Amino acid sequence: MRNPTPFIKKMYAAGVMPIFFHPDEKKCLQCLETAYEAGVRVIEMVNRGKEAVGNFPALRKLADQMPGLMLGAGTIYHPTEAEEYHNMGAEFIVAPVMNPKLGEYCQKMELPWVPGCGSITEIFLAQELGAELAKLYPANVLTPGFVPPVHAVLPKIEIIPTGGVEPTRESIKSWFDVGVCAVGMGSQLFRKDLVADGNFKEIKNNIEHVISIINDLKLP
């Protein structure tokens, strides 16, 4: 662990950060409940769609009944969006981009934030603005080979790849082998067809499978 802050310890323990959203509030709640039952303890609801802001309070209320769960808001671009979700109880903010103004807001509020970065310069700027964890996005373009050069020059920053991480041992291992803190996964876990069909049992099985892979990789 490069930077053992409370937030980073939580992320390391989690291993995977599922990313989800559905316009239907009931489906959103089912996604959250299923993920928690599968063993997830850090989760991100993405701010995609006009229903997102309206759904978040219900998710926050449910999360309050789930000991140990950390609920964050993602696809946040601007300080106004971060403030809105922070006021509704978001415990961390995730962004697809590295917006310095967003970083300044989160730093001022002592709110953990995970900016999306695609270069060492962006990761450095994020660190300067208080980011403890940088999101490599899109991970399938940057590849695991991007991580060691980052850690060579920025040894304290933690990394989470998102976008293209597959729910297979080969894919997940390729990232943990280069020292990432955790992996972010969205549609690979919450497949649209399974959510639409209400097949949350299979979704739970998929998440449990990913968690078991990660726990196995962590063994000495």
The bridge status of strand 133-136 relative to strand 158-161 is parallel
Residues 162-198 as b or e (16 or more Cβ within 10 Å = b): bbbbebeeebbebbbebebbbbbbbebbbbeebbeee
Tens-digit pLDDT profile for residues 7-31: 999 999 999 999 999 999 999 999 9
* Percent of the chain whose predicted confidence (pLDDT) is above 70: 100
Q: What is the pLDDT of residues 92-151, one digit of tens each?
A: 999 999 999 999 999 999 999 999 999 999 999 999 999 999 999 999 999 999 999 999
| Residue 199: DSSP 8-state | -
Can you give the pTM of this predicted structure?
Answer: 0.96
Domains of the chain in sequence order: 6-218 (3.20.20.70)
Residue 168 main-chain phi, psi, to 5 deg: -125, 155
